[in-house]
Amino acid sequence: MNAESRTSPAPATRPAAAPERWAKLAPLFLVSMAAVGYEIALARYFAVAQWSEYGYWVISIVMVGFALSGVVLALARDRAARHGKVLLSVLPVLLVAAAALGFHWTVTNPFNPLQLQNPATWQGQVGNIALYYACLLPVFFLAGAYIGLSFILNADRIGRTYGFDLLGAGCGAMLALGLMLVLHPFQLVPALLVPLAAAAFFAPWRRGAMVAAALLALLGGEALLRLGPQPDFNDFKAIYAPLHVPDAQVVAERRTPRGHYLLLDDFMERVDTDISNNAGLLGLPGPPTSFGLYRDGNRIAALPRPEGAETGYAPSALDALPYLLRPEARVLLAGASGGFRARGALTLGAADVTVLEPEPVLRGALTEGFGPSPALPPDPRLTISGESPLAVARRAARSGRRFDVIDLSADFLDAAEANASALSAEAIAAYWNALAPDGVLSLPVSIRDFPVYALRLLATVRAGLLAVGVADPAAQVAVYRSAWSVRVLVSRSGWDAARLEALRRFADERSFDIVYHPGFDADAARDHLYNDLPAVSFESGQVTSEGPADAIADEAVAVLQARDTPSAEAFNLRPVTLDRPAFYAVLRLDQLGTLLKRLEILPQQEIGALVNLAVLAQALVIALLVLLVPLLGRVKAPRAVMARAIVYFPCLGLGFLFLEIVLIERASFWLNDRTSGFALVLTGMLVFSGLGSMLAGRFGADPRRGMYLATGVVLAWGAALLLGLEPLILGTLDLPWAARAALVLLLVAPGSVALGLPFPLGLARAGGMGGLLPWAWALNGAFSVVSTPLANLLAREAGFDVIILTGILLYALAAATFPIARNTALAANAERRPVTP
C-alpha cells in the first residue's frame, strides 16, 4: 500500500483505471525521451563543432545532473512529495527554457581544444569547460528531478515507472537518430524541445496555465536558437580553412546518423596521397585536383571532378610497390580513397580488383556519385563491396580463391570507426591465409604524428603471423617509408634476392627509405637516407640522434623479434587485437606527468584517453559526495539497509553501462558500422530493459526471487558472451547485414530483460523509507558517471573481455547485497512519516 492510500479516504484506495495509470506516466515517457535525445544531440554538436572526444563531457554532465537531482530529492524528499503535483507540472516548462538557454550558451562558449593543449593558454580553457557544465547541468538536473520525483510518487509501482523511463529513453535514441536523416546536426536541439513542451499537456496541476507557459517557453526557445548566434565549425577543424578560402563552395550535402557530409569545391583540394619527390624525373604527373569530402568537419576522402579520376601519378606513389612485385595481380583493396586508389590499382597493372568500402556514403560515391562528383566508370575488372576486409579474407581462405595482393589504403582506418579491426592481429592472420603462394600484403601507417605507430604495427604483424604458425615473422617482412608514411609489406613466399633488388630499385628511384628487410643493415643505411627521421625523447622533447637517423629502423628488428626497445619504455607497443582494437592508443597512462608535459604534441586521436581520465577523476569526486549524503541525517533507513544500498545501487550503475559499452563496440564490428551498432544496442537494451522492469511487479511477494532469477540470467548470458561472442561474430561476418542485425537484437534481448529487473526491485524496497529512494537514484546516477570513462579506459588497457567479466561480477555482488525485506526495514524505521503527493 503506498503513501497516498494510507492518508486518503477509502474510495481513493481503489486502484486507478488503466488509462489513468498510463496517462500519469506518459509525461515521464516524454521527458525521458527528450532527455536522451538532447544528450545525443549534444554529442553530435561536439563531434561536428569540436572533436568527438569531447562528447564524453556530455555523458558526464548528464549523469552528474541526475546524481545531484537525487541528492536534492533525498534531502528534501517529504517536501518534494507534498508538492509533487505542482513540481511535475512546472518542471516541463522549466526544462524547455533550460534546454534552449543551455544550448544557446553552449554555442557561444569560446572553448578551443588547441589552446587547452598549449601550456600558455590552458588555464582559460579549463574555465570554458566549467562553463559547459554551468550551461548544461541545469537541464539534466531538472530532468533527473522529474524522473526521481516520479519514482517517489509511484513507489508502489516502481517497475512500471522505471519501464516508462527506459522505454522513453529508447524512443528518444530512435527519435534523435531519425531526425539526423533530415536535420542538420545543429538543428537537433530545437526539434527536441517539442516533446519536452508536450509533457505539460499531462500536468496534474493547473493544466491550462502550464500548457500556455510551456508553449510560450517553446516559442521563446525556438526564437532564441534560430535567431541568435548560430553554431559553426571551430577554426581548428580540417574543413575550416578550405571552407573560408576565396570562391570555396559546398556543392553537395548529405545528412545521416553516421555524420554530416559536405562536398567542398575549392582550390586547395587535391588527392591526398604520398608520392615521390622525383615524380617529375620519372615523367609522371602529380596528383590531380579534386573535390574534398568532409564528415563532421573532418576530411575523409578526395572525390573526382566531372572530368574523371586521373591516376597517372600512381607509379610514383608509396603504395605502388606490391603491384610491381606481382604484375597482373588479383587484388583485394580495402578503401578506394574516393575512387582514386581503385583506378590507381588498374593503372599499376592489376588484372582484377575487389574494392572494399564499408563506409556507406563513400561506397555510394563510387557507385552512384555524390553531387557533381561522378561515379566510377563501369569496368569489368572492378568489383565494389561494402564488406569488411576480415570477412572477405576469411571467406577467400575457406574457398581457396586467394589474392595476389591485399592492400589497405592509407586513409582506410580513418574513414570509419568500424574499420579499426582491419589492423588487428586476427585480421593480419586472415590476410595471410587469403594470400596466394607468392602474394603480398601491404599495410599503411602514418608517422606524421608519432613514428611509434609504425613500431606498434610491426608488433601486431608479428602477433598475427605467429598466430598462423609462421616460425620467423621477421623473415616475411619488409618496410619502407617516405617522410610522412610507412608501408609494411608481408610476403607469403619471403624475400629472395630478386624481390629485395626490386625493393631497393623502387626506393632509390623515388627517394624512399628502406626501414627493414631480412638481412638489413640499419647502420649502413644511414649513409644513404633520403628522409631524415631522428630519434626524439618523448620525456624530454629533445632530439637524441646525432647525424642522419631513422628512428624506426633503429628499433624495427627488435620489435619483430619481441625484444625490449627504448620506445616500449615510453609507449604501449602491445599488438592490436579484436579485444583491444584501438590502434591509436600508444600513450602509457602510468606516465601521466610526462603526458601532461608533452600535451601540446599529442595527436588528436590520443586525447580521448586523457579526457576520460579527467572525467573519471571528476566522477569519483561526485560519487564520493553522493555516498556522504546520509551523514546529513536526511536519509532515514536502518544501517543494514544503508550499507547494502551503498554497494547494491553503484554495482547496478557500473555493471549495466559496462555491458552496454562492450556490446556497442562488438556490434559495431559485427555490423561493420558504428552508427547502426550504436543504434541497435542502445535502443534494444533500453527497450528490453524497460520491458524487464515492468515484470518487477510480478515478484512483489518475493522480490529476492526475482533478483536471483535476474542475476542467474545475467551470469549465464555474460558467460556466453565471454566464451562465444567473438567466435559467433567471426563465423557470421559474411551473412547479409539484416541477418547480422537480427542476431544483434537476439543477443541483446534476454540479457537486457534481466538487466531491467534489479534496479526497480531495489527501488521498491527503498520506496517507503524517507529519502532512501532518491538517494538510491543518486547513487545509480553517480556511478553511471564513473562507468563510462572507466569502461573506456579498461577497454584500452585490458580489453573488452575484462569489462564483460567485471560487469557480470558486479551484478553478482549486487545480488549478494540485495536490500533486506521491506517489511523488516519499515518496522525498524521509526522515523518514517507518510507523505501525500
pLDDT band at 798 (very low <50, low <70, confident <90, very high): very high
- Summarised one tens digit per residue, pLDDT across range 722-764 is 999 999 999 998 899 899 999 999 999 999 999 999 999 888 8
How many Cα atoms sit within 13 Å of 41 on the Cβ side? 31
- Summarised one tens digit per residue, pLDDT across range 132-191 is 999 999 999 999 999 999 998 988 888 889 999 999 999 999 999 999 999 999 999 999
Mean pLDDT for 21-43 is: 89
pLDDT band at 461 (very low <50, low <70, confident <90, very high): very high
Which is more confident, 537 or 672? 672
Bridge partners (DSSP) of residue 407 are 333, 442
Q: Which helix (H) or strand (E) holds 394?
A: helix 389-399
pLDDT band at 674 (very low <50, low <70, confident <90, very high): confident
- Summarised one tens digit per residue, pLDDT across range 278-313 is 888 889 998 999 999 999 999 999 999 998 778 999
Please work out, in degrees rounded to the nearest 5, the angle formed at the alpha carbon of residue 149 by the alpha carbons of 145 and 155.
150
Q: What's the pLDDT at 822?
A: 44
Which of 616, 726, 751 shows the shortest CA–CA distance to 670?
726
Which of 258, 215, 233, 197 shows the shortest CA–CA distance to 38?
197
pLDDT band at 4 (very low <50, low <70, confident <90, very high): very low
Alpha-carbon gap, residue 311 to 285, rounded angstroms: 9
Compute the mean pLDDT over every residue in the chain, rounded to the nearest whole number: 89
- Summarised one tens digit per residue, pLDDT across range 325-336 is 999 999 999 999
Which is more confident, 230 or 637? 230
Hey, what domains does the chain have and what are their CATH numbers? 16-232+604-828 (1.20.1250.20), 314-591 (3.40.50.150)
Strand pairing class (477-481; 485-491): antiparallel
Alpha-carbon gap, residue 70 to 772, rounded angstroms: 10
- Are 625 and 805 in contact by the 8 Å Cβ rule? The answer is no
- Summarised one tens digit per residue, pLDDT across range 99-115 is 999 999 999 999 888 78
In the structure grid, which three cell numbers stand for residue 705, read together?
Answer: 526471487
In the structure grid, which three cell numbers stand for residue 513, read together?
Answer: 627509405
Bridge partners (DSSP) of residue 490 are 441, 477
The sign of the CA dihedral 713, 716, 722, 723 is negative
Contacts of residue 344, defined as CB under 8 A and 6 or more positions apart, other chains included, come to 311, 314, 317
pLDDT band at 824 (very low <50, low <70, confident <90, very high): very low
Mean pLDDT for 806-819 is: 93
Please work out, in degrees rounded to the nearest 5, the angle formed at the alpha carbon of residue 374 by the alpha carbons of 372 and 377.
170
Q: Which helix (H) or strand (E) holds 444?
A: strand 435-446
Locate cell 513542451: which residue?
Answer: 197
Alpha-carbon gap, residue 286 to 277, rounded angstroms: 10
Which of 84, 60, 189, 99 shows the shortest CA–CA distance to 147?
84
- Summarised one tens digit per residue, pLDDT across range 248-263 is 999 999 999 889 999 9
DSSP string computed for 259-295: EEEEEEE-TT-B----B-TTTTTTT-PPPPB-EEEEE
Lowest mean pLDDT segment, chosen from 15-24, 376-385, 559-568, 822-831: 822-831
- Summarised one tens digit per residue, pLDDT across range 336-391 is 999 999 999 999 999 999 999 999 999 999 999 999 999 999 999 999 999 999 99
At 373 the three-state DSSP class reads strand
Q: What's the pLDDT at 619?
A: 87
Mean pLDDT for 619-627 is: 89
pLDDT band at 830 (very low <50, low <70, confident <90, very high): very low
How many Cα atoms sit within 13 Å of 462 on the Cβ side? 19
At 607 the three-state DSSP class reads helix
Which is more confident, 524 or 196? 196
pLDDT at 443 over 70: yes
pLDDT band at 823 (very low <50, low <70, confident <90, very high): very low
Q: What's the pLDDT at 766?
A: 67
User: Residue 735, class by beta-carbon neighbours within 10 Å (0-12 exposed, 13-18 middle, 19+ buried)?
Assistant: middle
Which is more confident, 287 or 837? 287
Alpha-carbon gap, residue 822 to 45, rounded angstroms: 45
Q: What's the pLDDT at 752?
A: 95
Axis crossing angle, helix 122-153 with helix 772-797, rounded to the nearest 10 = 130
pLDDT at 837 over 60: no
Mean pLDDT for 416-437 is: 94
